[in-house]
């Protein structure tokens, strides 16, 4: 009896291999109606060591799995030195995971990533995360029937089985909550009561972010983010370079009705932020991964196409979490829905261990619709 041809994993070398790396999910998922094709040009720029701000504080290698002359899978292995320095850890990460339904492919890819990280002194491998937890993260384990929203991956059910069969174990789950922000009847009365008293009792107001000063607004966002989220699993603070790049990205999806700042009226100190974005994936679905010949036209019409939003960040500085700032930010989302084409969407991801935020979503009438799982392996 002949032995099966083994899977060979090789590092991406040159432009042609990078194209194969980018094209693989198109080959794997093109027939799945839930999968949304990314814009290929954007993926090439995102993976660029010269252009992506991640490489100011991290390093990475990209790998392809080959069998009988065909690409069967891909993975990245990366070390975020900024993360490790902040936490005093020696973690390595894997990401950009795509593979066929073959246990040998998953085993070979994950073993290769683990070996690369081990050689650089890492003690644990975690993932998947496409460089950081603020990008596409986790393996989809619930919600396969739903299309992914902005910065969400989509995987068929066998991904979970293959990753776990390869020896990785659950680290933590990330939750996505559905929220219909046009339906105020599902909101507990206490939310509105807290929001109504915010300005009179605590001298705090909520205003929209300003596109002209978006880079400055992101400094305020980072100020809140870096003190409100440090206990989150996988947290790493935003650097100046990260924020510079983020400001450019947000220009494509920014809508002042959905991005807001809570600040003290007397001093102007920012105490809370919410950043919500129209779901650009509804546009990417029509673009089929390309700007030409008609992809650009769909992008220019994105304001008419998107009717859903993703709440990406909503946080309050710890010293002001008792004031009702979060409640006011929630209510402002309902106000935005009254004037914008988007009437609902999803909030998250939220860690399964974040009791306060998950209870807040319940109070807003939300329900969990997707679950992404982060995995780990000791090295």
Q: How many CB atoms lie within 10 A of CB 85?
A: 11
Which is more confident, 58 or 5? 58
Side-chain-facing half-sphere of 302: CA atoms under 13 Å? 20
Average pLDDT score over residue span 122-133: 95
- The pTM (predicted TM-score) of the whole model is 0.90
Average pLDDT score over residue span 171-179: 93
Model confidence pLDDT, tens digit, residues 142-158:
999 999 988 999 999 99
| 95 — pLDDT class (breaks 50, 70, 90) | very high
Q: Strand pairing partners for 140?
A: 372
Quick one: pLDDT at residue 293?
47
Buried/exposed code over 247-274 (b: 16+ C-beta within 10 A; e: otherwise): beebeebbbebbbbbbbeeeeeebbbbb
Q: What integer best gives the mean pLDDT of the chain?
A: 88
Q: Which long-range contacts (CB under 8 A, 24 or more apart) does 209-217 make?
A: 209/254, 209/256, 209/259, 209/260, 209/261, 209/275, 210/256, 211/251, 211/254, 211/256, 214/247, 214/250, 214/251, 214/254, 215/243, 215/244, 215/247, 217/259, 217/261
Q: Which of 48-57, 212-221, 260-269, 302-311 has the lowest mean pLDDT?
A: 302-311
Quick one: pLDDT at residue 287?
63
Pairing mode of beta strands 124-127, 91-99? parallel
Domains of the chain: 8-172 (3.40.630.30), 181-342 (3.40.630.30)
Model confidence pLDDT, tens digit, residues 185-230:
777 788 888 889 999 999 999 999 998 898 999 999 999 998 888 8
Q: Which of 109-113, 161-165, 323-327 has the lowest mean pLDDT?
A: 323-327
Quick one: pLDDT at residue 76?
98
CB-count exposure of residue 236 (10 Å: 0-12, 13-18, 19+): buried
Q: Which of 58-62, 80-84, 132-136, 355-359 has the lowest mean pLDDT?
A: 355-359
Q: Which of 212-216, 324-328, 370-374 has the highest mean pLDDT?
A: 370-374
Q: Which of 90-104, 236-250, 264-278 has the highest mean pLDDT?
A: 90-104
Quick one: pLDDT at residue 291?
52
In the chain, count H helices and then E strands.
13, 13
Quick one: pLDDT at residue 366?
85
Please tell me the distance from the alpha carbon of residue 125 to that of residue 209, in angstroms, as a whole number.
37
């Amino acid at each position: 009896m002949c032995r099966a041809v083994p899977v060979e994993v090789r590092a991406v070398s040159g432009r042609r291999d990078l194209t194969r790396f980018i094209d693989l999910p198109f080959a794997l998922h093109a027939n799945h109606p839930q999968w949304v094709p990314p814009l290929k040009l954007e993926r090439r720029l995102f993976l660029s060591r010269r252009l992506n701000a991640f490489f100011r504080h991290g390093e990475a290698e990209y790998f392809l799995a080959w069998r009988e002359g065909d690409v069967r899978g891909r993975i990245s292995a990366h070390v975020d030195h900024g993360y490790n320095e902040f936490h005093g850890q020696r973690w390595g990460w894997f990401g950009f995971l795509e593979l066929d339904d073959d246990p040998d492919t998953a085993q070979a890819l994950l073993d290769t990533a683990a070996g690369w990280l081990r050689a650089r002194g890492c003690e644990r491998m975690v993932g998947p995360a496409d460089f950081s937890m603020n990008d596409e993260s986790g393996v989809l384990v619930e919600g396969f029937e739903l299309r992914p929203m902005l910065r969400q991956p989509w995987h068929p059910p066998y991904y979970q089985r293959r990753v776990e069969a390869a020896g990785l174990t659950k680290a933590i789950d990330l939750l996505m909550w559905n929220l219909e922000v046009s339906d105020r009847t599902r909101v507990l009365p206490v939310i509105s009561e807290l929001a109504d008293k915010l300005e009179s009792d605590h001298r705090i107001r909520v205003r929209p972010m300003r596109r002209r000063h978006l880079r400055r607004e992101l400094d305020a966002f980072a100020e809140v983010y870096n003190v409100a989220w440090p206990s989150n699993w996988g947290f790493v603070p935003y650097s100046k370079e990260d924020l510079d790049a983020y400001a450019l990205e947000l220009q494509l999806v920014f809508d002042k009705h959905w991005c807001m700042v809570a600040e003290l009226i007397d001093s102007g100190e920012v105490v809370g932020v919410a950043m919500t974005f129209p779901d650009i994936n509804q546009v990417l679905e029509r673009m089929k991964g390309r700007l030409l010949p008609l992809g650009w036209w769909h992008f220019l019409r994105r304001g008419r196409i998107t009717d859903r939003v993703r709440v990406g960040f909503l946080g309050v500085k710890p010293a002001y979490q008792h004031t009702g700032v979060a409640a006011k930010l929630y209510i402002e989302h309902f106000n935005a829905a009254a004037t914008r084409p988007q009437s609902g969407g999803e909030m998250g991801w939220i860690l399964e261990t974040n009791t306060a935020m998950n209870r807040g979503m319940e109070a807003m009438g939300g329900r969990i619709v997707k679950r992404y799982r982060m995995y780990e392996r000791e090295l």
